[in-house]
Amino acid sequence: MQIHVVQPGNTLMEIAMMYNVPLNELVTSNKIENPETLVIGQTIVIPIWGSYYFVQPGDSLYTISYKFQVPIQQLERINNLTSNSQIVPGMRLYIPQKPRTPIYSAAYVDTDITGERSGEVVLEVGEFLSSIQVFSYQVNSKGEFKPISNEEEVLSAAKETNTRPLMVITNIEDGRFSTEAATAVLGNPQLREEVLDKAIAIMKEKGYKGLDIDYEYLGAQNREAYNSFLVEAREKLSRNGFSLSTALAPKLTTDQVGVLYEGHDYEFHGNIVDYVFIMTYEWGYVAGPPRAVAPINEVKKVMDFTITQIPKDKIMMGIPLYGYDWKLPFVQGESRARAISSQEAILIADRFGANIQFDEEAASPFFVYRDEEGINHEVWFEDARSIQAKFDLVKSLGIRGFFYWVLGREFPQNWLLVEDNFVIKTY
């Protein structure tokens, strides 16, 4: 498929004619909610196999062949050209579809976010996912499990779409990741065993296929105890035919300082678990200053380190399906950004007459606007360009695959690009 960035004066009809695609197909495939008033800088995915290239001044068939790595003879054949044909600026050439990469994909679904729509959300996109992580059974300091609402609907949808369901346990207590809750469980061998036995009983009862442990903010004091917990989990889960995975903070060094990082031993996890979910997002976050949620330059640094610690065939790279809207000026300790979908970002830009810009270093779109009350805002989100940049990184690294945090915010362009880039493996 092809990504078109809306330019001043563009209309959907003009874009449809440019790429020889039915207008209605452009609207429905992208689920465009502002078809009459496109936003400058908005991306539209053109639903065709392959892409079109418009000849630029100075181009030749040789340079185009080299640019797209397509033999000249093939370019001539599929575009009805001969060796004597002349190409001129503005001429449209069809570039054939590149081979798609077989890969594993996954996504977390937080039923606290999706609510009664949880099953419907999984049904809508399950065909693009190898596994679904149901977030989450919260384990408190006593080793007690808080149940998941709308869990049965998600598991039913996973079964219907042949998506492998993973049970997620977290050290969330009183609405936040708790170092104290983790310490109470991980530091007590008896509680560790009880937690694993409870998890396995639930997995057997409900039909889960694996356990994903998302223990965060552990601090250095829990590093070795967490490693011991994983060894015990590996033994129990293997005996019962279940997989084991972990969600890991985005590290740059083995000894990175910070309560979020110090408890996660990349190399140890890589040796013990079946695969890891690297949380490569939240550079831009609710309480932080405006910036891209997952800037590609920062994501690449994390992934370059990760592949030195963990086998590539165990690594799943995280991709966000959301953005943030910050009020300005940002005040540290006071300001709180609002999470938004990519679709909502476009509607906001349209409503307030903002042009969408693109940060090339971060490979992320952003814009600024002033609301009805005169308050300035800055918005960073994901679009087709930023998602394609992440897909390109996944392919270049040769890792197991990628995953999303989190389902529930509409982003149809993402799924168009999944289909264009990958053949999704199933378990």
CA distance 186 to 146: 18
Contact of 392 with 351, CB cutoff 8 Å: no
Nearest to 73 by CA among 64, 58, 63, 83: 83
- Give 310's DSSP letter: S
CA distance 324 to 238: 40
Hey, what are 301's tokens? Answer: 């640094």
- Give 126's DSSP letter: G
Distances (CA, A) of 52 to 62, 75, 94: 16, 11, 5
Active-site residues, by number, are 216
Number of other residues whose CB lies within 10 A of the CB of residue 401:
22
CA distance 243 to 283: 30
Number of other residues whose CB lies within 10 A of the CB of residue 143:
19
Give yes or no for a cis peptide into 102 (omega within 30° of 0).
no
- Judged by DSSP in three states, 409 sits in coil
Distances (CA, A) of 45 to 23, 30, 39, 98, 411: 12, 7, 14, 16, 12
CA distance 366 to 358: 6
Q: What angle do CA 283, 340, 288 make, to 5 degrees?
A: 30
